[in-house]
Amino acid sequence: MSNIVVFGGDSHPDLVSKICDNLNIKASEVHLGKFSNGETSISINESVREKDVYVIQSGCGQVNDAFMQLLILISACKSASASRVTAVMPYFCYSRQPDIPYTAKGAPVIHRPQKEGEAKLTTRRPGADSSFKSLNSVIRSTINLESPQPVRAPELTSSKSFSRIPMIPGSKLQNSHTNGDAEDLFNAQNAGYKLWVVQAGTLIANLLTEAGADHVITMDLHDRQYPGFFDIPVDNLYCKPLAQNYIQHNIPNYEDAVIVSPDAGGAKRATAIADALELSFALIHKERRSQLLKGPPDATLTSGGTLPVSNRPLVSQPITNLRRSSSSSSVSSINSESSKFVQTTMLVGDVRNKVCIVVDDLVDTSYTITRAARLLKEQGATKVYALITHGLFSGDALERIAASEIDQLVVANTVPQQQTVEHLGNDRVDIIDVSRVFGEAIRRIHNGESISMLFEHGY
């Protein structure tokens, strides 16, 4: 193929070389590194003038570093007169946009905790007297200018397992006492302003466009609306044909299996596979009701200590009317000293004595999928497969999966899965290789052919 240049970022070199093998070309030489102050450094060692450039970078590992590297690569190619630059992002970072702060998916880790007793340079503090008369004295008088110590962030990183509730650090942002932030944020909730989590989707799309991307190729975007954030073409490839292929060839007696969606949001994706293979379908519905917001902030919450949901096993109440009803539920309610967390998980559909295939597009902290597997086993499923496109497995997700009821983990290699295989062993993990789909998409886009065939048949 002439006039094509493929660059790989450093997030997933394995996939880059596989895609290049499929295209029967070599990845172009690019040096990726960092300056000693942490700034990303790249140098491109091959001409890109008037070339059709593809930059492959998955949104994994140090996401922001990977993303900046992608932007810099794109911008460098563009300013070196490339005719077209296509961003190939097998996993699109920031594609999942949690919207409710207290049930947000994923667990936040707090940046740079300042250790107590850590020697810090003290800067000369401005005195309480300001030379600017224009400062509003009324406002200034309400602020305690005498607060003697810079407020230290509590050590939040020490606890490894976070709940799915973002914790509010009592930290540097407030010049009151240590828990000021948490308290203020909780109070803000009651004072009529609803705390909201910023949705970065449009921003990421705009940044890519601004850097100079002319085209984006990605796979299984979490939101189907996401391509609408862009003003440039976005080709969203599907892992579904590959997943169907896996089910048909690797799951014995797949005709009797049940496709399960671990939450209501994924129902459409799961039913699509169930319909295509004419399998039955079940849905797990989870409901989280946090009563944390109503009470005063709990000390254990702000210090990142005990977290009600994640640290304790889900206790299901015995269900007596199993035979008669195909719909059953398991309810658990955990009360700690001052915080209450109610969890309801409901299974709709019959899985007794069946092989279950849990289908999800994205597994990050793995709470949802491991909980789903447990519930399915409790309801009499014989074997649980987890079929996942993007296996991010952040935090201690792999330990959780290893200890879970998931018998077979099937995951695509949109993000590196070496660790997963190492952790769970070759027998328990199957990798779906997506490099052929990406390779074929790149070939077709380069040649100006239609790629819709890839949506249906895979490759």
Q: Please, which of residues 80-119 interact with other proteins by CB under 8 A?
A: 80, 93-94, 98, 101, 104, 106-112, 119
Contacting residues for 159 by C-beta, under 8 A, at least 6 apart: 304, 305, 307
- Cβ neighbours, 10 Å, residue 294: 11
CA distance 183 to 188: 8
**For other proteins, the closer CB: 142 or 320:** 142
Distances (CA, A) of 384 to 115, 362, 399: 44, 17, 17
Q: Give the footprint of other proteins on residues 218-277 (CB under 8 A).
A: none
**For other proteins, the closer CB: 183 or 235:** 183
**For other proteins, the closer CB: 102 or 281:** 102
**For other proteins, the closer CB: 368 or 408:** 368
CA distance 374 to 356: 12
H/E element, 367: helix 367-378
**For other proteins, the closer CB: 107 or 351:** 107
Q: Do residues 71 and 102 touch, judged by C-beta distance below 8 A?
A: no
97 phi-psi bin (left φ>0, alpha ψ -120 to 50, beta other): beta
- Contacting other proteins (CB under 8 A), which of 27, 213, 392, 429? 392
- Tokens 């309400």 locate to 142
- Contacting other proteins (CB under 8 A), which of 15, 55, 211, 398? 211
Count the site residues for other proteins by CB under 8 A. 93
**Minimal distance, residue 404 CB to other proteins, in Å:** 17
Q: Give the footprint of other proteins on residues 116-155 (CB under 8 A).
A: 119-121, 123-127, 130-136, 139-140, 143, 145, 150
- Contacting other proteins (CB under 8 A), which of 3, 14, 29, 43? 43
Contacting residues for 2 by C-beta, under 8 A, at least 6 apart: none
**Minimal distance, residue 355 CB to other proteins, in Å:** 30
**For other proteins, the closer CB: 374 or 390:** 390
- Residue type, position 215, single letter: H
322 counts as binding other proteins under rule CB under 8 A: no
Per-residue binding letters, 158-187, with other proteins (x by CB under 8 A): ----x---x-xx-xxxxx-----x--xx--
Tell me which stretch binds other proteins (CB under 8 A): 244-252, 305-313, 345-353, 389-397: 389-397
**Minimal distance, residue 148 CB to other proteins, in Å:** 13
**Minimal distance, residue 15 CB to other proteins, in Å:** 18
Helix (H, G, I), strand (E, B) or coil at 339: coil
Torsion over CA of 350, 356, 359 and 364, rounded to 10 degrees?
Answer: 110
Rg, C-alpha atoms of the chain: 25
Q: Give the footprint of other proteins on residues 61-80 (CB under 8 A).
A: 61-65, 67-68, 71-73, 75-77, 79-80
**For other proteins, the closer CB: 64 or 311:** 64
Distances (CA, A) of 46 to 250, 345, 445, 451: 43, 55, 22, 28
- CA-nearest of 246, 232, 218, 269 to 454 is 218
**For other proteins, the closer CB: 38 or 313:** 38
